Amino acid sequence: MRDYFYQIYQALFSITEGMAVTMSYLFRRPSTIQYPNKLESLLENQMPDRFRGILQVDISICIGCRLCEKTCPIDCIAIDIEKNKETKERFLTWFAIDISKCMYCGLCSENCSTTAIYHTKVFNGATREIDNLIVQFVSEPMKLVKAKKKDGLEETSKDLHGKILKEKMPTPNRDQTRKALIEKILG
């Protein structure tokens, strides 16, 4: 009989203890943020500089060594280089990154000798079409930069906010998407 009342006491004590913890959260300010509507500043500005966001390529300093393509463990980088037989100049004809495959490991950016490929602070690549996640950085054949010696390389400033990426990445018109969603819901 004594065990019976002790178990009732233990059950009531544990319920009271649990409810006390729950009630303490009732009077606290919420720690959730209504993304993206109620942010103090852009979330991209709040990310640290070493954040591994969507990859971006600065084609103007790319030497066409294809090291990023070779070190990518999942083959999300595709590069095509053509050589003019008469002038022996090399042209970059295709440089595309499939963001839907990328696992943001950073191997490509670590091995790039000119730092032409790097991670940005951009992370939101949400889209309805998976084909929109293939970003092509070369629109027309481009003459490649000659490789310089290691000590001759200058540190170029990186655009961590992804200006080039945002220009190259197709974004759907938000009003059209919203209208299509409303029409789909209403039937």
DSSP state letters, 131-161? GGGEEE--SS-EEPPPPPPGGGPPPPPP-TT
What does the alpha-carbon distance between residue 145 and residue 64 come to, in Å, rounded to a whole number? 8
- Which DSSP symbol is given to 119? E
pLDDT value of position 106: 92
pLDDT value of position 125: 83
Q: How many distinct helices (H) and strands (E) make up the chain? A: 6, 6
Domain edges within the chain: 43-170
pLDDT value of position 183: 66
What CA–CA distances, in Å, run from 56 to 7, 83, 138?
63, 24, 12
Q: Which CATH number fits domain 43-170: 1.20.950.20, 3.40.50.720, 3.30.70.3270, 1.10.260.40?
A: 3.30.70.3270
Digit-coded pLDDT (tens) for 110-126? 999 899 999 999 888 88
In this structure, are residues 84 and 92 in contact, taking their beta carbons and an 8 Å threshold? no
Residues of the chain with pLDDT under 50: 151-153, 174
Digit-coded pLDDT (tens) for 12-36? 999 999 999 899 888 888 878 777 7
Cα-to-chain-centroid distance, residue 104: 7
pLDDT value of position 153: 47
